[in-house]
Amino acid sequence: MTLGSRDELDAQLTRVEKYGYKRDYFPLTWNGHNVILLVNDSYETDDKRIHLHLTLYCAGCFEEHGIRGTIEPASSEHLQIIKLIPLGYFYLNDCQ
């Protein structure tokens, strides 16, 4: 089994970050939460839909929130709004 080259890793990260969260954004502190990116798997399927599996975790209160599914985005703005869904809990609730 091979782990792949640096070029293959860079291509994978570029693919994921195109539709998912940018890794540079995490960890972040928001509303008292120390939010960590647990799962950031997003890509375009063969039928041009977007598969998302995004999970965020707070190291303070141990809450975990995410979104998972395949969508047909109407626009890039639509996709950006969907990526805000897991952040919503951390925005609306203080860290316990």
Q: How many CB atoms lie within 10 A of CB 38?
A: 14
Task: Render pLDDT for 13-34 as a digit per residue (tens, 0 to 9).
Answer: 777 678 888 888 899 998 999 9
Task: Render pLDDT for 53-62 as a digit per residue (tens, 0 to 9).
Answer: 999 999 999 9
**pTM score:** 0.80
Band (pLDDT 50/70/90 cuts) for residue 5 is: confident
Question: Do residues 19 and 43 make contact, with C-beta atoms less than 8 angstroms apart?
Answer: yes
Domain positions in the chain are: 22-92
Helix (H, G, I), strand (E, B) or coil at 43: strand
For β-strands 50-58 and 64-71, DSSP reports them as antiparallel
CA distance linking residue 39 with residue 72, whole number of Å = 21
Which residue's structure tokens are 């316990």? 96
